[in-house]
Amino acid sequence: MMAASVLNSPEAVSMSVFVVRAFVDMRRKIAANEEIIRRIVEQDEVLRTFWAKLKPLLEAPSPRNPIGFQPK
């Protein structure tokens, strides 16, 4: 319940405005954090895809049979 509706004083009105502004600011910060988290998740997916494609190239090549005549 808002203090201004009960007390009806300038201090109560000021405190009610302060509380509303605090909640609005908190909501804005939460929305900004959600956007940052969404971007991080997207980048994480891109990096995972990149790593999955890069990893086979970094592994040692499989042994191959030599080319040409090989005396036994």
At 25-64, the pLDDT tens digits run 999 988 888 888 888 889 999 999 999 999 988 887 778 8
Q: Are 3 and 14 in contact (CB under 8 A)?
A: no
In this prediction, residue 11 has a pLDDT band, given cuts at 50, 70 and 90, of confident
- For the cut 60, the answer to whether the pLDDT of residue 1 exceeds it is no
Q: What is the pLDDT of residue 9?
A: 83
Query: Domain limits of the chain?
Result: 7-56
Contacts 24+ apart (CB under 8 A), 51-54: none
- For the cut 70, the answer to whether the pLDDT of residue 3 exceeds it is no
Give the integer Cα–Cα distance in Å for 10 and 21: 16
Give the integer Cα–Cα distance in Å for 42 and 20: 33
